[in-house]
Amino acid sequence: MNSILNFILILMIVALLIPIYAAWQANDVWQKMLALSSVSSKASTIALVVSVLRDDWMIGVVAAIVLSVGNAGFMLLAQLLKRMDNA
């Protein structure tokens, strides 16, 4: 069981590299924000898997908070950039 979760964790880390590469290649601010919000969601999901592997619920609580609140900053930044473009 533990080796299966380790393999899943490795696959999740590989999947995390895809939006990082997309953010590195993109010139548009919106594409970079989209890729970085995807990284945020994937990183918090990886932290949840690590908390299950280590049986450490404090890491799981922090990952759940980051997962639920983490993208709120990106949404606020997107609204700010949108209003600056219109002004």
Angle CA 24–30–33, to nearest 5? 60
Closest to 31 measured CA to CA, from 21, 44, 41: 21
pTM, 2 dp: 0.70
What does the pLDDT look like over 67-82, one tens digit per residue?
888 777 777 777 777 7
Where does residue 55 fall: left (phi above 0), alpha (psi -120 to 50 degrees), or beta otherwise? left
- pLDDT tens-digit map of 10-36: 888 898 888 888 878 878 777 777 777
